[in-house]
Amino acid sequence: MIDLRVEESGLWVVTLNRPDKANALTAGMLEELVDISKRADDARGLILTGAGKVFSAGADLDEAAAGLATSPLWEQLSAAIAALPCLTVAALNGTLAGGANGMALACDLRISVPSAKVFYPVMKLGYLPQPSDARRMSALIGPARTKLILAGGQKILAQQAYDFGLIDQIVEPLDLLPTARSLMTDSLTAKPEIAQRILEMCQES
CA distance 71 to 82: 18
What is the dihedral sign for C-alpha 75, 78, 80, 83? negative
* Adjacent-strand bridge partners of 46: 12, 88
Q: Distances in Å between the alpha carbon of 104 and those of 48, 66, 101, 191?
A: 8, 24, 5, 25
* Adjacent-strand bridge partners of 12: 6, 46
The pLDDT > 90 percentage for the chain reads 93
- φ and ψ at residue 103, rounded to 5 degrees: -70, -35
The string of pLDDT tens digits covering residues 21-46 is 999 999 999 999 999 999 999 999 99
How big is the chain, counted in residues? 205
Answer whether 141's CB lies under 8 Å from 164's CB: yes
pLDDT at 205: 63
pLDDT at 65: 83
In this prediction, the residues of the chain whose per-residue pLDDT falls under 50 are none
The CA-CA-CA angle for residues 108, 110, 111, to 5°, reads 145
CA distance 167 to 23: 20
The string of pLDDT tens digits covering residues 59-93 is 998 998 889 989 999 999 999 999 999 999 999 99
Where in the chain are the domains? 2-203
pLDDT at 56: 98
Q: What is the CATH number of domain 2-203?
A: 3.90.226.10
Nearest to 110 by CA among 152, 140, 146, 151: 140
CA distance 88 to 166: 15
SS3 117: strand
Buried b (16+ CB within 10 A) or exposed e, 53-67: ebbbbbbbeebbeee
CA distance 176 to 169: 10
Strands (DSSP E) along the chain, which ranges?
2-6, 11-16, 45-50, 54-56, 87-92, 95-97, 109-112, 117-119, 156-157, 169-170
